[in-house]
Structure 1
Amino acid sequence: MTNVLSNPSFDDATRREHLYNGDVMVYGATPATLALVQFTRELVEEAFDGRDPQVAQYEMEVRDFAALLADLKPRFIHHPRCKELLPAILEERGCDLERTYFDVPRLRTSTSDDYLTTGIAFAFHPHRDTWYSAPMCQTNWWMPVYPVTADNVMAFHPQYMTHGVRNGSRRYDYDEWNRTSRFSAATQIGKDTRDQPTPEEPVQLDPQVRVVPEVGGMMVFSGNQLHSSVPNTSGRTRFSIDFRVVDIDDVEAHRGSRNVDSECSGTSLRDFRRCTDLAPMPEELAAQYDGRAVVGV
């Protein structure tokens, strides 16, 4: 069973245990999340140069829109201000910053009515982050930049938290993806030709859970939760931020969700940085996750 818990008062260890078991947390806006929203809006609106970013898709050629995102998204991802704001958000949520590591935040876009659903604005099929070499202890933190509706958020498929789906993760190697596919996203317009882990059997999309946070509100869930992009029919491009978090004690103890179907190789753990000083994940811990994942562990 998946429970959606609003503003729970758990400490971080209890929260992680709930997340590993499939629960979803929803938190209201805070000073730190609103600071990140404001910073992000400034970058986005500067890039769109007077156009309303939420409806600019109706004024721009799709290739021009994709090119704009190809410049905007890396600037956001690697901006030093993000590395200041993310630890502040995690501190507000009770994380021990000495033990908590985060990956760079991603700026996501979901355009309306199939305008651009590939490459730089990829519309995600049902997937788990753990198919993409994420550790089983990864938690995902997601927040909208502008108001969202049930027609342009994401969907969870909680019946699969404990049931495997035949999928293509056995062909996915994290290092190989970084070498050959990650940086070609902006060229994937109309059809995305990159081999990504997808279900290889029918997935029952209903019942599903959709959560609609307020601007600056935060949704937190396990990286092992099966989720997908809701087909955007809202008439507005959705802008959202997500980032990934691990607790080093759980990394060291190999604690997390149970692996029911992931068979990928490699690990994303080397991308994570400690909140206090941006030190990388210790190599001796990351190396423990380099082999092929084993289902059922």
Structure 2
Amino acid sequence: MTALYELATPLPEAERNARLYRGELIIFRGFDSVAQLTDQLRAHCTSHLGNDPTCAHQSMSSTEIEQAAEALRAAVRKDSDAALTWRQVLSAINTDLDETYGDGIVTRVQPPSSGVQGGRIEPLRAHRDTWGSNLPAQINWWAPIYDTTPERTLALFPGLFTRIVENDSAEWNFQDMVQAHRTKSTRSYPLLPTATNRPSWDDALVVSLLPGDLLCFSGAHLHASVPNTTSLTRLSFEARTVNRSDMAAGLGAPNVDGSAPFITSQIFRHLKNGQKLGEIARR
């Protein structure tokens, strides 16, 4: 069974990454910089979704929520103060920023499932991020902006970390996805490869965190959104990072079932100077 650790102190990055590549899950708890970032993101949420963003679905249509969620994502991505705080978060838990590349902070808005439809506000189906990126050294970070419950959070399937899961990564093309996104056709092209047979929820580890907590796990971990059956909208943020030295040394989680044709290292940029980790390349 995969170990889940809760830490209130920094962990040497080499040790942390090695543990994540083995499939361990780590929650960092009690770091002031995470709380500061959460406050900054809450300000963005209220600006776009009203004074109580967890109830936005009560006064907004699904189309309005989707538009507001897109505007929220764009505003957070442009927020240099939030980006600075994110770097401070990583430094506080002992990350070498000189070796770290990332894709920036991404906010997620998931209203209750009753009748709300939309490409980016629907629950994410089970997937490994590495099915799309082909980067074994990729690490995922996830945290709630407001309270979560087991019915409104993230789930991982740790028992499937090294087991083959049937998926559509061989047919998924990153360049086609980007083109579809540019032409606003994402409904007709999936944002990422997913499992073709949904795993049993009996195998899921539901991670219900408090604002200020920060979960990190390998991009190779199978994970999914828990379908929101509550009366509140879920708001969370996530990010992905890659350690350049680990990537160069061939370190990372095992690839047991990913078959996407491209390595998408160009989506990761150096956290300090913005340089790309690499260019898109065929496997």
Q: TM-score range by the shorter chain?
A: over 0.9
Aligned to 2:205: 209
The Cα shift of 1:178 comes to: 1.2
> Distance between the aligned counterparts of 2:188 and 2:202, measured in 1?
28
**TM-score normalised according to structure 1 size:** 0.88
SS at match of 1:35: helix
Aligned to 1:125: 125
Q: Deviations over 1:216-249 (max 9, x none)?
A: 1100001000011111122111110100011111
The Cα shift of 1:117 comes to: 4.6
> Distance between the aligned counterparts of 2:38 and 2:122, measured in 1?
22
**Structure 1: segments with no counterpart, 5+ residues:** 293-297
SS at match of 2:66: helix
Aligned to 1:10: 11
1:208-247 counterparts in 2 under 5 A? 208-247=204-243
SS at match of 1:177: helix
Q: Is the 8 A contact 2:142 2:236 kept in 1?
A: yes
SS at match of 1:113: coil
> Distance between the aligned counterparts of 2:240 and 2:118, measured in 1?
22
Larger mean CA deviation between 29-38 and 192-201 belongs to 192-201
Aligned to 1:99: 99
Aligned to 1:84: 84
CA spacing shift, 1:72–1:183, aligned 2, 3 Å: farther
Percent of residue pairs bearing the same amino acid type: 25
> Distance between the aligned counterparts of 1:104 and 1:268, measured in 2?
15
> Distance between the aligned counterparts of 2:182 and 2:109, measured in 1?
17
Aligned to 2:254: 258
Aligned-pair Cα RMSD in Å: 1.9
CA spacing shift, 1:238–1:251, aligned 2, 3 Å: same
The Cα shift of 1:183 comes to: 6.3
Q: Is the 8 A contact 1:142 1:220 kept in 2?
A: yes
Supply the AA of the counterpart residue of 2:160: Y
Q: Is the 8 A contact 1:29 1:215 kept in 2?
A: no
> Distance between the aligned counterparts of 1:182 and 1:244, measured in 2?
22
Q: Is the 8 A contact 2:62 2:118 kept in 1?
A: no
> Distance between the aligned counterparts of 2:87 and 2:71, measured in 1?
25
SS at match of 1:132: helix
CA spacing shift, 1:214–1:201, aligned 2, 3 Å: closer
SS at match of 1:181: helix
The count of residues paired between Structure 1 and Structure 2 equals 281
**TM-score normalised according to structure 2 size:** 0.92
1:160-175 counterparts in 2 under 5 A? 160-175=160-175
Aligned to 2:35: 34
Aligned to 1:24: 25
CA spacing shift, 1:174–1:120, aligned 2, 3 Å: same
The Cα shift of 1:271 comes to: 1.9
CA spacing shift, 1:120–1:9, aligned 2, 3 Å: closer
Q: Is the 8 A contact 1:78 1:104 kept in 2?
A: no
Q: Is the 8 A contact 2:123 2:225 kept in 1?
A: yes
CA spacing shift, 1:183–1:6, aligned 2, 3 Å: farther
**Structure 2: segments with no counterpart, 5+ residues:** none
The Cα shift of 1:202 comes to: 5.0
